[in-house]
């Protein structure tokens, strides 16, 4: 039903018409010779599907084993011995009621109460901060009850007021000292059955598991399993990118978070789960935002944690996770990191097209600008710059000059307004390049792929540009596939042509489906794919490996994928884009939306120059 109005016919241009006329003239005088067809296909190498199957066989690194202690149930009277690590700016006094909220129901099994099944010690951060470290006045006042001492495992640089949390270049000040202190704590007080952490504390636990898997004597043989609430890893664009696991961690892990968490986009928490070996992880979403959840009796997360703890009580070495449940289908059959291959060397066939296809969402720039104005007017989020808190481990800071959220959304709005015309104009400066776009009909211009701002799970950590999810009665993935198919019907490209694809904003979601169909139906792997501020939350089926032969990682085979984002952007972890290819994946950063066409075109020329004649 979309095809009558969704896309206006694309202009082939004189070169395209001549090329198709020549192809028709070559075909008409002779009967089809299937031997010639097979010879032609063979000359282009294996099909993309065959290539993907070959790469998938080696794409998952061998899990890195976290060497456990020699026995389990290390507490008194055979209890599970746990160590809990708190969130930023709190302490053990604050953690004690949180521990009870988590374990009171989930750890009561075998006819015993939770206190008879687990015992808990606490490791506090080594860096003291004032109570006002909490930027929200209500939280700062609440923490007065648990004073007078407050601790962090690290602080953030840049400061929180300028976007330090979840910043592309987020640094952890004091991280190295904390890990050394924690290693000594484990040596003196361990071994433990499990590490339990919330927020910063969960990030510490992940780093301990990474170092144990790498053979660090301070952490190896110190614990059996992890329970992680709201965990995160260093960003790939940050100084501490080296502290990301180099292989999936072979350790039982229970990972839990809320989609409504206001500290970070929840894709960041999902990413942590992907770094745990698939058969060793349980993921449970809860509804308590940014806090260790109150797991009441009968709740699904309570049941899942109870089952996990029972497995740890019995035999953690032999425990294997159940299949992902329905709410975590997006993670099914997906893992990180991926053992990647270099970008392929495409063969430049004489007469083949070299075309860059730019896919945007109509009217997205205007709607994004209206959202920025809504923020500025106070309709959503803070209307004015927030009062800054202290810099790392200090008590005072200079006032912030701007509102980071307004700034990042404004930069997004300018990037979202880009179309193929901007790329054509940039291409004309350095010489003609074949750039094609798509023109949408009136009906399409009214369809909004992004989320309504008022329906976001978290209006603080998430912006509309971050999310493409189904509304009531919608199936946006099926719709995007239909749009992409219509687009390709009007896009003159065959196997052997050299194609690059650029998706702008939510248009990147449509562009991705076009690229996947190009691989599946035309037998052509794009030379490059660019997602400019692409959404980091997509419908679950966009990543799930329901049938690994057709779904899951590597849909673009070994096509290089670039995720481009503004320098003040704070997107969630872009793992949904990262898993689309088994070839190179990288993140590019721009300061001004005007840089984007030139950046992409330069990279496009570099990719074309690597193609062999």
Q: Is residue 419 domain-shared with residue 325, that is, in the same domain?
A: no
Q: Is residue 182 domain-shared with residue 233, that is, in the same domain?
A: yes
Residue 250 included in any domain: yes
Residue 342 included in any domain: no
CA 107 to chain centre: 31
Is pLDDT of 389 > 70?
Answer: no
The residue ranking higher by pLDDT, 281 or 1, is 281
Q: Is residue 292 domain-shared with residue 407, that is, in the same domain?
A: no
What is the bridge-based pairing of β-strands 127-129 and 150-152?
antiparallel
Q: Is residue 413 domain-shared with residue 317, that is, in the same domain?
A: no
Mean pLDDT of 582-591: 97
Among positive and negative, which fits the CA dihedral 265, 266, 267, 272? positive
Domain boundary among 302, 333, 364: 333
Q: Which long-range contacts (CB under 8 A, 24 or more apart) does 258-261 make?
A: 258/230, 258/285, 258/286, 258/287, 258/288, 258/289, 258/290, 258/293, 258/457, 259/285, 259/457, 259/458, 260/287, 260/289, 260/457, 260/458, 261/230, 261/289, 261/290, 261/458, 261/461
Q: Is residue 572 domain-shared with residue 432, that is, in the same domain?
A: yes
Mean pLDDT of 291-296: 96
Q: Domain tally for the chain?
A: 2
Residue 276 included in any domain: yes
User: Is the distance from CB of 546 to CB of 578 less than 8 angstroms?
Assistant: no
pLDDT score recorded for residue 260: 92
Is pLDDT of 395 > 80?
Answer: no
Is pLDDT of 89 > 80?
Answer: yes
The residue ranking higher by pLDDT, 472 or 224, is 224
Residue 491 included in any domain: yes
Write the CATH number for 181: 3.40.50.1820
Domain boundary among 299, 333, 367: 333
Q: Is residue 425 domain-shared with residue 538, that is, in the same domain?
A: yes
Query: How many Cα atoms are found within 13 Å in the side-chain-facing hemisphere of 300?
Result: 12
Q: What is the mean pLDDT of the chain?
A: 86
pLDDT score recorded for residue 386: 39
Is pLDDT of 191 > 50?
Answer: yes
Q: Is residue 434 domain-shared with residue 476, that is, in the same domain?
A: yes
The residue ranking higher by pLDDT, 490 or 514, is 514
**What is d(CA 287, CA 308) in angstroms, rounded to the nearest whole number?**
19
Residue 397 included in any domain: no
Is pLDDT of 392 > 60?
Answer: no
Mean pLDDT of 124-149: 92
pLDDT above 90 covers a percentage of the chain that reads 64
Residue 56 included in any domain: no
Between 190-204, 402-416, 434-448, the lowest mean confidence (pLDDT) is in: 434-448
Residue 453 included in any domain: yes
Tell me which residue has tokens 């510490």.
204
Mean pLDDT of 331-343: 95
The Cα-based distances of 551 to 52, 259, 284 in angstroms read: 11, 24, 23
Q: Quick check: helix, strand or coil at residue 116?
A: helix
Q: Is residue 311 domain-shared with residue 427, that is, in the same domain?
A: no
Residue 161 confidence class, pLDDT cut points 50, 70, 90: low
- Highest mean pLDDT pick, 40-44, 437-441, 585-589: 585-589
Q: Is residue 373 domain-shared with residue 274, that is, in the same domain?
A: no
Q: Is residue 278 domain-shared with residue 363, that is, in the same domain?
A: no
Q: Is residue 409 domain-shared with residue 282, that is, in the same domain?
A: no
Q: Is residue 459 domain-shared with residue 605, that is, in the same domain?
A: yes
pLDDT score recorded for residue 384: 36
Residue 27 confidence class, pLDDT cut points 50, 70, 90: very low
Is pLDDT of 7 > 60?
Answer: no
pLDDT score recorded for residue 373: 85
**What is d(CA 365, CA 350) in angstroms, rounded to the nearest whole number?**
39
pLDDT score recorded for residue 18: 36
Write the CATH number for 553: 3.40.50
* Cis status, amide bond into 337, omega within 30 of 0: yes
pLDDT above 70 covers a percentage of the chain that reads 86
Residue 90 included in any domain: yes
Which residues span the domain enclosing 483?
A: 354-377+402-610
Mean pLDDT of 582-608: 95
pLDDT score recorded for residue 379: 63
């Amino acid at each position: 039903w979309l095809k009558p109005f969704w896309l206006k016919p694309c202009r082939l241009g004189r070169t395209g018409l001549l090329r198709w006329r020549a192809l028709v003239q070559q075909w008409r005088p002779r009967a089809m010779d299937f031997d010639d067809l097979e010879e032609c296909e063979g000359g282009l190498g294996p099909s993309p599907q065959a290539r993907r199957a070959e790469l998938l066989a080696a794409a998952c690194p061998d899990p890195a084993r976290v060497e456990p202690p020699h026995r389990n149930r290390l507490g008194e009277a055979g209890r599970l011995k746990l160590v809990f690590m708190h969130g930023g700016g709190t302490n053990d006094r604050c953690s004690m009621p949180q521990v009870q909220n988590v374990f009171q129901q989930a750890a009561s099994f075998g006819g015993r109460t939770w206190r008879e099944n687990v015992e808990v010690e606490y490791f506090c951060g080594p860096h003291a901060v004032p109570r006002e470290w909490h930027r929200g006045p209500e939280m700062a006042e609440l923490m007065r009850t648990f004073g007078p001492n407050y601790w962090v495992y690290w602080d953030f640089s840049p400061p929180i007021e300028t976007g330090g949390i979840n910043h592309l270049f987020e640094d952890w000040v004091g991280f190295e000292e904390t890990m050394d202190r924690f290693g000594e704590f484990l040596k003196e007080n361990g071994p433990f059955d499990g590490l339990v952490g919330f927020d910063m504390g969960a990030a510490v636990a992940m780093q301990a598991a990474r170092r144990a898997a790498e053979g660090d004597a301070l952490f190896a043989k110190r614990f059996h399993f992890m329970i992680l609430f709201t965990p995160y890893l260093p960003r790939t664009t940050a100084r501490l990118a080296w502290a990301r696991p180099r292989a999936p961690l072979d350790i039982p892990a229970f990972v839990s978070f809320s989609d409504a968490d206001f500290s970070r986009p929840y894709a960041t928490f999902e990413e942590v789960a992907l770094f745990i070996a698939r058969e060793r992880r349980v993921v449970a979403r809860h509804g308590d935002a940014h806090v260790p959840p109150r797991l009441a009796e009968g709740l699904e997360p309570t049941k899942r944690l109870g089952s996990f703890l029972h497995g740890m009580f019995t035999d953690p070495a032999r425990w294997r996770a159940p299949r992902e449940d329905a709410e975590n289908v997006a993670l099914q059959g997906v893992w990180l990191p991926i053992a990647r291959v270099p970008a392929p060397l495409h063969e430049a066939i004489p007469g083949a097209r070299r075309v860059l296809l730019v896919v945007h969402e109509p009217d997205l720039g205007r709607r994004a600008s209206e959202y920025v104005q809504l923020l500025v007017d106070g309709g959503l989020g803070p209307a004015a710059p927030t009062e800054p808190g202290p810099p790392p481990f200090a008590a005072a800071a200079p006032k912030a000059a701007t509102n980071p959220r307004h700034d990042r959304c404004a930069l997004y709005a300018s990037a979202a307004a880009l179309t193929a015309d901007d790329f054509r104009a940039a291409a004309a400066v350095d010489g003609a390049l074949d750039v094609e776009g798509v023109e949408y009909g009136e009906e399409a211009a009214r369809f909004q792929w992004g989320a309504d701002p008022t329906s976001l799970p978290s209006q603080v950590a998430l912006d509309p540009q971050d999310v493409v999810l189904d509304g009531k009665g919608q199936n946006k993935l099926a719709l995007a596939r239909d749009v992409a198919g219509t687009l390709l019907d009007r896009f003159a490209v065959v196997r052997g042509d050299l194609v690059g694809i650029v998706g702008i904003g939510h248009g990147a979601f449509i562009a991705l489906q076009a690229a996947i169909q190009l691989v599946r139906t035309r037998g052509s792997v794009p030379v490059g794919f660019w997602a400019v501020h692409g959404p980091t939350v997509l419908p679950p089926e966009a990543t799930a490996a329901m049938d690994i032969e057709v779904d899951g990682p590597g849909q673009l085979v070994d096509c290089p994928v670039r995720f481009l984002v503004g320098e003040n952007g704070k997107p969630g972890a872009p793992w949904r884009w990262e898993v689309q290819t088994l070839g190179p994946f990288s993140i590019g950063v721009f300061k001004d939306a005007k840089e984007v066409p030139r950046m992409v075109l330069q990279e496009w020329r570099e990719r074309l120059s690597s193609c062999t004649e």
